[in-house]
Structure 1
Amino acid sequence: MSAAESTQQSANPVEYIQHHLTDWCFGCDPTTHKPSSLIDFHAFFFDVWLMAALVAVALGVIAWRVGRRLDPDAPSGMQNVLEMLVEFVNQQVKDVFGSRVNPIIGPLALTVFTWVLAMNFIDLIPVDFIPGIAGWIGVHVFGQQHVFFRAVPTANLGAPFGLALTVFALVIYYNLKVKGPVGYLKMFLFHPFGKYFVPVNIVMTLIEEIAKPLSLALRLFGNLFASELVFMLIALLVFTHTTLPSVLLWFPVQVLSGLAWSIFELLILSLQAFIFMVLTIVYLGMAHTDDH
């Protein structure tokens, strides 16, 4: 759907919200534009991959430019910001790992935090801006009649789950590396109730391990999805009105509401990136201990 079509249908709040909650998906049902099932390996969410890749490239370019201009004697500008960020992340890692810090954990935690934070902050861009650009490109460049586009990757369940499963794979890897296959198996057999409750221990430990990626993914997705929905509702304060007096009446309310929610979102979006990073460090820290 193009940007013009989106505006024309804006008088219908349900269609407006459904349009903005639909991904640009290849391999999805051509009528519903949704995957055929919850797990559908034929579905490719192009907008999620595109926005996540653009954010990653932008972060890489920023890091490269700052790295080329490092001045240890007189740091300024972005170098100061990045140095503060690196020190902040390193302190979180040291608080969990103590003196035995795996050298990979710090860069991993920094990457997770900055990437998730940058993807989250896309939510602060006006809700129709990026989909409008994507709609124009889709119609005039690709010749498509209907283009759907969700700008915030972390508001799609696939992106948070992809990140969470990557962290979970690292947790399993370091559990096997530090504890060994036998030690990792003992964790399932004898934790948390000892050797006399092996069946219960297996079930409880499995639930505990599965809860790690679920908690990472669903917390991030739920908060970003709710935030995205609130911005759509704020946008509808004006879009559902067609007469000039009603538009003039509701436009200041929309601006003030959007500004207030954006200020609140600065805290929420940053907090969600911080929580994702901290839980990643904690889970990897637990994997690096000899006991459970």
Structure 2
Amino acid sequence: MNNPAAFNLQVSIGAETLFTLFGFNVTNGLLTGLVGTIIAIVILVYTAVSVKRGTYNRFIGLVQWVFEGLLRQINDIIPDKKLAKKMTPLAITIFFVVMFNYWLSVLPGLDSIRVNGIPVLRSSAADLNFTLALAIITVVTVQMYAVRYLGVFGNIKRYIRNPFKDPVGAFEGALEIIGEFSRGVALALRLFGNSFAGEILLIVILLLTSYVASIVLPFFMLFELFIGFIQAYVFFVLTLIFTSLAVTHEAPTHDEKKKQTA
């Protein structure tokens, strides 16, 4: 039986710098993220062009089926059709970019290409900078649409209320402020934790199974591909839910109705 301690397994939680370009550190996570993003763009553009030309095959049908399923989810979660249409490009792009970047961590040999002992490619989904950037984009977009639909002061009222006139509302506003930060952190950490854990799992399984790795590893790789799809879908759905909650108007109270009538 192999001794796990003899493997000398070293894992880096952060992305590692490959080279510096004009004072900017280019990391392996950034490089892989660019590759994953390019793959997503190429596939979506290829599918769109093929559909316009009337060219179909199984791959195009699969991508179109996924796209239409995501579109139905957007229309179901966001009741405002105009807002749903505006959110479609961002939400669907996030889904495909996250999924392909997660799947890159499952590819065998991704960690084997090294320069000065540093792997050239590393899944950007396992880089906290990438997941945190996606979470910030999501939170900022939600706030932009909240301001557009509720107005600047209407959006502020979701968080700040007069504690003397409406103590319960003031408490709810404080919780909402905490909730905004916790949503962003949860979005980033959920994706990062799952992707990083998946990479470690595959490496450990590869080392432990040794000669039978070619038989055992494909089952775990398929499982990680499924997890990648689920994580991308969860990120996609939460983006829509946060947007829908932010632009939802509260029903006016009895006093407010009397004022409006007067």
TM-score range, shorter chain: 0.7 to 0.9
Query: How far off is 1:175 after superposition?
Result: 1.3
One-letter amino acid matched to 1:76? N
Aligned pairs for 1:183-262 within 5 A:
183-190=154-161, 195-197=166-168, 200-237=171-208, 250-252=210-212, 254-262=213-221
- Within 2, Cα distance between the matches of 1:13 and 1:155? 22
Match of 2:239 among 280, 283, 290: 280
What corresponds to 1:131 in structure 2?
A: 111
One-letter amino acid matched to 1:69? S
RMSD: 3.0
What corresponds to 1:69 in structure 2?
A: 50
What corresponds to 1:271 in structure 2?
A: 230
What corresponds to 2:150 in structure 1?
A: 179
- The 3 A distance-change label for structure 1 pair 155 and 183 is same
The answer to whether the 8 A contact 1:22-1:149 is kept is: no
What corresponds to 2:256 in structure 1?
A: none
The answer to whether the 8 A contact 2:18-2:28 is kept is: no
- The 3 A distance-change label for structure 1 pair 198 and 70 is closer
- Within 1, Cα distance between the matches of 2:203 and 2:54? 47
Does 1:23 pair with 2:12?
no
* Structure 1, unpaired ranges of 5+: 1-9, 29-41, 139-144, 239-249
One-letter amino acid matched to 2:135? A
One-letter amino acid matched to 2:32? M
Match of 2:38 among 48, 57, 62: 57
One-letter amino acid matched to 2:186? S
What corresponds to 1:13 in structure 2?
A: 7
Query: How far off is 1:21 after superposition?
Result: 4.8
Match of 1:121 among 83, 103, 114: 103
The answer to whether the 8 A contact 2:131-2:189 is kept is: yes
SS state at 2:240 partner: helix
* Structure 2, unpaired ranges of 5+: 252-262
The answer to whether the 8 A contact 2:145-2:247 is kept is: yes
Query: How far off is 1:203 after superposition?
Result: 2.7
Query: How far off is 1:277 after superposition?
Result: 0.4
Does 1:81 pair with 2:62?
yes
One-letter amino acid matched to 2:220? W
Alpha-carbon deviations, 1:114-136, whole Å to 9, x = none? 1100011112211xx23322x1x
What percent identity do the matched residue pairs reach?
A: 21
One-letter amino acid matched to 1:204? L
One-letter amino acid matched to 1:46? T
The answer to whether the 8 A contact 1:113-1:276 is kept is: yes
One-letter amino acid matched to 1:286? L
The answer to whether the 8 A contact 2:31-2:121 is kept is: no
TM norm structure 2: 0.81
Query: How far off is 1:11 after superposition?
Result: 7.8
- The 3 A distance-change label for structure 1 pair 209 and 71 is closer
The answer to whether the 8 A contact 1:117-1:269 is kept is: yes
Query: How far off is 1:62 after superposition?
Result: 2.4
- The 3 A distance-change label for structure 1 pair 22 and 113 is closer
